[in-house]
Structure 1
Amino acid sequence: MIQNQKANAGQNLPYIAGITLIATLGGLLFGYDTAVISGAEKSVQAFLITGQGLSTWVHGVTISSALIGCIIGGAISGVFSSRFGRKKSLIIAAVLFFISALGSGYPEFLFFEEGKATMGLLYMFNFYRIIGGIGVGLASAVCPVYIGEIAPANLRGRLVSLNQFAIIFGMLVVYFVNWGIAKGQTSEWLNNIGWRYMFLSEAIPAGLFGILLFFVPETPRYFSMVNRDQEALRILTKLNGPSTAQHILADIKNTVEHHSGKLFSYGKTVIIIGILLSVFQQFVGINVALYYAPRIFESMGAGKDASMLQTVVMGVVNVLFTVLAIVTVDKWGRKPLLMVGSVGMAVGMFAISGLAYYEIIGVSTLVFIIIYTASFMMSWGPICWVLIAEIFPNKIRGKAVAVAVAAQWAANYFISATYPSMMEFSGAFTYGFYGLMSVLSLLFVWKMVPETKGRTLEEMEALWEGNPAVANEPMAARRV
């Protein structure tokens, strides 16, 4: 224990915190881009879809179109992060966020008459949303990997969880922005102009993110993978102190050189677990609550301004429970939080399903929505990203994370695009399905997911190779 305390004493905490905060701006933009549509979706429907007599299915596809880009961004993230590095991949994501913000707010640019809805304009709007989605897909994969590869093992859970906090904080910020834009305005103004301001507002954090990225280093694990060991050692020394840096670099080199780096070098189980973590995170239905929150609250009887305000309240609750996850993830572990969250989500969704079946709409519905989202934010929201950043061995991390994130966005797209049609069929069935997925997620974590608390990233190689000493005891404890 004394040895571990001495090693930790060499950590440059202000430097680590500064790098992490800049990297988490990618998470903030992830959340911002994801939730900005919640305030604009009814106006987009009125401006681009209803006027042309298009179907509910087209509405669902348009609102979810950014997710197509997210799938692409997630799928290419492994190639980008391996070929260009983690830092340059995040810079590319920042540029895509900026282009999408401007284009989504003013899709008529160069080619179309302003204010006149046409099929061509609808296609162009979806194109810009897909561009932003590629940025989200890249950031969602690379940000937790970047933080995970920078962070010391004793801080990694909390620091990677900060990325989820940034995602939820980004959502809260845009809920306030959307509420501020919509407050006191007529529906006609919102349908013609207001929704544009909502999308354009994203250009500010996107520009800031792109500029600040020039002041952070590449990760030492990436430098080691491309045989730039001196640069890796320099960054590790600045992060952890000279004595600890040498040990960490030796561990990194050992794992990087040991395997070919093929996706299934460590077997199929770790890849399947990564994919299922991602799929369950979406199949529990969280993005339905995030994308369609104002519409859900309006269906409960709230007015336009009140529904936006209730969305803000939900955003505040989400932030508070994400903080709970951050302060407990390295104390309680990953599995207990995931299992408790699954139980809470199941309770919330089955209750909402029952209320929908009996057509009971009121405060009780809001309460159970908050129970559901709070349970997600203290568990599957941040912990899924922590595990995706942790469970894969160094040599396959870029490829494996890309597969897991692409699966996550594909699941997200499926759930979000099918929600309007499912609700037309039956609200009780829709929410009951999400409740069932919550129960299945509990069983999956209980049976398949390993506990990674306290383990170094290099240790995961031995874990997946079936080393019983590693499986039962973290490396930090064995070094004492």
Structure 2
Amino acid sequence: MVNNFFSKKQAEQKAGNSFLVFIAVTASVGGFLFGYDTAVVSGTIGLVKAQFELDAIMEGWFVSSALVGCIGGVLVAGELSDRIGRKKTLILSGFLFSLSALGCMIPETHSELVFYRILGGIGVGIASILSPLYISEVSPAHLRGRMVALYQLAIAVGILSAYFTNAWLLDLGDSTDIQQGFLHEIFVEEVWRSMFGLESIPAILFFLTLFFIPESPRWLSSKDRNQEAKIILERIEGNVIADEDIRSIKSAIAKEEKGTWNILFHPGIRVAMFVGILLAILSQFTGINAIIYYGPRILEEAGLKLSEALGGQVFIGFINVVATIFTIWKIDSFGRKKLLLAGVSGMALSLTTIGILFLFNLTSGSLVLIFILVFCASFSIGFGPVVWVLLSEIYPTNVRGRAMSLATFSLWIGTAVIGQVVPWMLETLGASWTFFVFAICCIPVPFILKKIPETKGMSLEDIESVWQKDE
């Protein structure tokens, strides 16, 4: 009997883990599309700029237009997800990704291209909140860090895929014997169209698979649909733990003000809100998207040809993936704060070194690329995954979507600013001082981390209670 009992529990646990992995991976495809959509533009900038004869300001608008869409998506996603649910809002994101990817293959004017980029940006904005939030709400405490970090891994894989396909399509355009027709236009004559268009394949897959995942049990419980929530938790964690979780969730929700923004301004929660916003902004002001968007241009300034620069971007993307896998492996044992401190230290060191190399014209050879790789690896160990994990953990259930909206809104404001001003910084300040500015933005992070608890191994409800004690 005892053996049968343990065999049954093991079978339940295995099935629960498989179910959890399925829904976490499905939600993480939003991160893949986020990464691809963000990075694909790096290979198209020069081509689109030449075709539509863009000046520096319009070049910046082409890059940052999707980020404006992201901001719009962020503004609606939190409120929408708290009202209609995480799943339905994610489905909307998948639809917008698909429409944008297909639309970016066919525009005849710069304005049309910008319109479809904005649509894709709205999808990115929604996914950037809902994918990590949803994964956080379905994951057990002891696995939550690595499950949410899957989202950052998906972003890194998406970035790598964009770099790889950009380089591959550029080479294909130079070597293919397609002479005419639509295929000639999108693969040879105007290859940037196929760079954007290939995103439609994972976008449509994301949209369809979202119909097969459950709603967030914590959102269901916040709407007094506790029986539905319990059924989902039982599939993930088993009967006993599901009962405990439901009791804990109901107790935490009972202490909250029902779905109001006022919670965010309570003394303890206010600190969490402030910390989340600062970390989100600094994750962008430290320069990661300057590398993603303008990496080829920076590498060209270091003496590489465009094809070599795009190849360098592929290598950067590969390093991002490897470093993120390390973080997934260690985040639930090392903890969030330790990884973030280590990553930011590596970023500050590498950014300063790159600035010095450009300042003294020591950019020949592979030195710049090596330290860019160190910077990207450091970002993927710390800021990349850890910020998304923290933002998905530290807010109360009833307003988690709205709170993440504010923090992620700040992140995308930072991203839009970087996308717009980096061409100006490179032309006016030069590459050296551009990197020095990014290095300076690393300095506040250790001081900010002193204001938050280490959240590894804590349930979402236990984390919430820590902030409430400070009220």
Fold shared, TM-score > 0.5 on shorter chain: yes
In structure 2, the CA distance between the partners of 1:264 and 1:364, relative to structure 1 (3 Å rule), is farther
Residues 1:249 and 2:253 aligned together = no
1:285 equivalenced with 2:283 (yes/no): no
For the structure 1 residues 328 and 256, does the alpha-carbon distance in structure 2 shift closer, same or farther, using more than 3 Å as the test?
same
Letter in 1 for 2:135: I
**Structure 1 residue aligned with 2:156, among 143, 168, 171?**
168
Match of 1:453 in 2: 456
| 1:414-425 equivalence runs, <5 A | 414-425=417-428
Equivalents in 2 of 1:44, 1:441: separation in Å? 37
| Equivalences for residues 432-447 of structure 1 within 5 A | 432-445=436-449, 447=450
In structure 2, distance between residues paired with 1:199 and 1:467: 48
The aligned amino acid for 2:88 is: K
Aligned partner letter, 1:420: P
Equivalent residue, structure 2, for 1:23:
27
Q: Which moved more, 1:323-332 or 1:301-310?
A: 301-310
Tell me the secondary structure at the aligned position of residue 448 of structure 1: coil
Q: Equivalent of 2:276, from 270, 274, 277?
A: 274
- The whole-number CA distance in structure 2 between the counterparts of 1:353 and 1:300 is 12
Shift of 1:184: 5.3
The AA in structure 1 aligned to 2:261 is L
Q: What is the aligned partner in structure 2 of residue 149 from structure 1?
A: 137
Superposed CA deviations along residues 83-109 of structure 1, whole A, max 9, x for unmatched, are 22111111100010011111122113x
Give the secondary-structure state (helix, strand or coil) at the position aligned to 2:442: helix
Structure 1: unaligned runs, 5 residues or longer: 109-120, 469-480
Cα distance in 2 for partners of 1:71, 1:450 equals 28
Alpha-carbon shift at residue 186 of structure 1 (Å) = 4.7
Is 1:137 aligned to residue 134 of structure 2?
no
Measure the CA separation in 2 of the matches of 1:17 and 1:221: 18
Aligned pairs for 1:186-265 (under 5 A) are: 186=174, 192-260=189-257, 261-265=259-263
Alignment partner of 1:102 is 2:102: yes
Aligned to 1:311: 313
Partner of 2:66 in structure 1? 66
Quote the offset at 1:217 in angstroms: 0.4
Residues 219, 397 of structure 2: 8 Å contact kept: no
**Which residue does the alignment assign to 1:112?**
none
Q: CA deviation at 1:467?
A: 6.6
Secondary structure, counterpart of 2:32 in structure 1: helix
Matched with 2:113 is 125
Match of 2:130, as an amino acid?
V
Question: What is the aligned partner in structure 2 of residue 476 from structure 1?
Answer: none
SS at match of 2:460: coil
Which residue number corresponds to residue 42 of structure 1? 46
Q: Aligned residue for 1:300? A: 302
How far 1:225 sits from its partner (Å)?
Answer: 1.2
Deviation per CA, 1:280-302, whole angstroms, max 9, x where unpaired? 11110100001112222222222
Tell me, yes or no, if the aligned pair for 1:79 and 1:398 is still in contact at 8 Å.
yes
| Distance in 2, Cα, partners of 1:467 & 1:65 | 40
RMSD: 2.1
Structure 2 SS opposite 1:74? helix
Q: CA deviation at 1:345?
A: 0.4
1:235: Cα distance to partner?
0.5
Q: 1:408 aligns with which of 411, 415, 430?
A: 411
Distance in 2 (CA, whole Å) between partners of 1:450 and 1:105 is: 47
Tell me which moved more, 132-141 or 17-26: 17-26
1:277 and 1:395 map into 2 onto residues whose CA distance is 22
1:25 and 1:209 in contact (8 A); partners too: yes
> Does the residue aligned with 1:105 lie in a helix, a strand or coil?
coil
Q: What amino acid does structure 2 have at the position aligned with 1:32?
A: Y
Per the TM alignment, residue 305 of structure 1 is displaced from its structure 2 partner at its CA by 2.0
**TM-score with structure 2 setting the length:** 0.91
Which of these residues, 353, 356, 361, is aligned with residue 354 of structure 1? Answer: 356
Q: Deviation of residue 185 (structure 1)?
A: 3.4
Identity of aligned residues (%): 39
Q: Could you tell me which runs of 5 or more consecutive residues in structure 2 were left unpaired when the two chains were aligned.
A: 1-5, 176-183
Distance 1:284 1:275 in 2: 14
Alpha-carbon shift at residue 360 of structure 1 (Å): 2.0
